Structure 1
Amino acid sequence: MSDVNTACGPLIVGLVAVVGLVIGSFLNVVIWRVPRGESVAHPPSACPSCGSRIQWFDNVPVLSWLILQGRCRHCKERISPRYALVEALTSVLFALVALRFLSDSDPVGEVGILLPLLFLTAVGVALAFIDLDTHKLPNKIVLPAYPVVAVLVCFATLLMGWEWTSVIRAALGGLILYILYFVLCVIGGMGFGDVKLAGLLGISLGWLGWSYLIVGGFLPFVLGGLYAIVLLVLRRVGRKSGIPFGPWMILGWYLSLFVTEPLSAWYLTLIFGT
């Protein structure tokens, strides 16, 4: 049985990566249309230059862009490499989450933990690119994600056989980060879109554990602060320039999935020497 579980691990990771490619393709539609108030379901995908409908065989994630050499089949105008980048990035991020949380001993039994984390990874990719483009975090994405994450956290808790106290911790995690960012918003350090995103990310961090909430809540300020310092030193921005903070919140959340346990172990060793 252990050999079967060991063999299933790579298959699950590969499947998750393929799913990430497909979802990444859909995220390109979300990133382009949601800020413009357009439907993500209709009309079908089309060339941004000539408007020609993109056929299914030209819509294979990453591969179609490479085969067509980044150009429309009809008008030959260049298609931004960001489309392929979003697809590949989503696939890699999905695979890394699967590698991080699926053990070799029982990968099938631990698939449940991926549900809320992969969903938030996809949401994070869309929001990060939209925030970079528009300096906004659309309510149409953030607010519906709340009930979805809540349901996925409860479902994953049931599948994993975790204590239901983790769900209570998830609710508290979302509330804590929401209040923290709300205070920063009131004193003028954040936009309200950041506040709503903080509550969403806090749910998953609290669900995983208090240490994840601390690291995931702290990292965005470190990353965003370092980025702002670099820009100031290079004189790319002024002291009063607005810098989108959403991407740093999302990056901090994602990195916390990987660095929290090593950081916690290092801290305990530093304090207790064991």
Structure 2
Amino acid sequence: MYILIFILGLIIGSFLNVCIFRIPNKQSIAFPPSHCFHCNHSLGVLDLFPVLSFVFLRGKCRYCRSKISIQYPIIELVNGLLYLSLFIKFGLSVYFIFYALFGSLLLVIAMIDIKTETIPNATIIFGLILGIIYIIIMAFTSYSWIGIKDGILGFFTGSLIIFLIILISRGGMGAGDMKLMGVVGLFLGYKGVIVTLFFGIIAGGIAGVLLLLTKVKSRKATIPFGPFLVLGTFITLYWGEFILNWYLSL
């Protein structure tokens, strides 16, 4: 079962690459079929095996020999490992299904933000719909409305904190970050979203200092913050409960 879940993650990861390239350009993620961005040749079945095609083709298009971005196998592998780890944590459950979709969405958001320094509304809308369905289903399966209340409170907590940071820092973060934290709040609740922000801000601060010291970025350059919020979200998803219990026991 573990192998099947990992393979599923690889396959979905291949689709995520399509989303990462097409969504920022406002292109359909369904049509046209996958093709080489250099020669526009449609890709066959042998060209689309996650990771393996990249290895066998030695990172080059089979038709025009142009280089294939290393992003393709990396995203496929990361998503495969993500699904496998979530399956180990949650088993074959409703939680696994929703968090797998949520995790894949976060990968897409992080990569698009790195490339374009924007978080497309299309990804946020999908996240909101997914999050709302999640808290409703959780309420009915647990016969409790606490999950809905916690999700709604998490939505407003995450959005409001980022909104205040934007006002105070005069643009230190963007509207996309605010919307992203609203979506995260639906899934993780108000406590989880606070833990996410804590680790996201720490990770972003450390990365910012390192980029300045290595002169990769100048003081006036902008650094996309979405990937650090995504990192904070994953930390909270896997270890948030342990971290909160440890902190409250101090």
TM range (shorter): over 0.9
Please show how residues 170-189 of structure 1 align to structure 2 within 5 Å.
170-187=151-168, 188=170, 189=172
The alignment of Structure 1 onto Structure 2 pairs a total of residues equal to: 248
Match of 2:19 among 23, 30, 53: 30
8 Å contact kept, 1:215–1:260: yes
What is the Cα deviation at residue 75 of structure 1?
A: 1.5
What is the Cα deviation at residue 235 of structure 1?
A: 2.7
Instruction: Find the aligned partners of 2:243 and 2:24 in 1 and give their Cα distance.
Output: 37
What is the Cα deviation at residue 163 of structure 1?
A: 2.5
Instruction: Find the aligned partners of 1:262 and 1:162 in 2 and give their Cα distance.
Output: 25
Are residues 236 and 195 of structure 1, via their aligned partners in 2, closer, same or farther at CA, if it must alter by over 3 Å? same
Match of 1:132 among 94, 114, 117: 114
Instruction: Find the aligned partners of 1:265 and 1:176 in 2 and give their Cα distance.
Output: 20
What is the Cα deviation at residue 162 of structure 1?
A: 5.7
Counterpart of 1:138 in structure 2: which amino acid?
A: P
Match of 1:158 among 136, 140, 162: 140
- Alpha-carbon deviations, 1:54-79, whole Å to 9, x = none? 01232111111112121111122221
Match of 2:205 among 225, 228, 237: 225
Please show how residues 21-170 of structure 1 align to structure 2 within 5 Å.
21-102=10-91, 108=92, 111-159=93-141, 161=142, 163-170=144-151
Counterpart of 2:14 in structure 1: which amino acid?
A: S
What is the Cα deviation at residue 236 of structure 1?
A: 2.4
- Alpha-carbon deviations, 1:184-224, whole Å to 9, x = none? 22232211111111100111110xxx542331221100110
Q: Which moved more, 1:134-143 or 1:182-191?
A: 182-191
8 Å contact kept, 1:224–1:245: yes
8 Å contact kept, 1:44–1:53: yes
Helix, strand or coil at the partner of 2:219: coil
Counterpart of 1:167 in structure 2: which amino acid?
A: I
What is the Cα deviation at residue 268 of structure 1?
A: 4.0
In structure 2, the partner of 1:190 is 173
Instruction: Find the aligned partners of 1:28 and 1:235 in 2 and give their Cα distance.
Output: 30
Helix, strand or coil at the partner of 2:130: helix
What is the Cα deviation at residue 117 of structure 1?
A: 1.4
Helix, strand or coil at the partner of 1:196: helix
- How high is the TM-score relative to the length of structure 2? 0.92
5+ residue gaps, structure 2: none
Are residues 136 and 88 of structure 1, via their aligned partners in 2, closer, same or farther at CA, if it must alter by over 3 Å? same
In structure 2, the partner of 1:6 is none
Alpha-carbon RMSD: 1.7
5+ residue gaps, structure 1: 1-10, 103-107
Instruction: Find the aligned partners of 2:248 and 2:122 in 1 and give their Cα distance.
Output: 41
Helix, strand or coil at the partner of 2:154: helix
Counterpart of 1:130 in structure 2: which amino acid?
A: I
The structure with the largest alpha-carbon Rg is 1
8 Å contact kept, 2:7–2:80: yes
8 Å contact kept, 2:185–2:192: no
Counterpart of 1:147 in structure 2: which amino acid?
A: I
Counterpart of 2:234 in structure 1: which amino acid?
A: Y
Q: Which moved more, 1:133-142 or 1:255-264?
A: 255-264
Identity %: 32
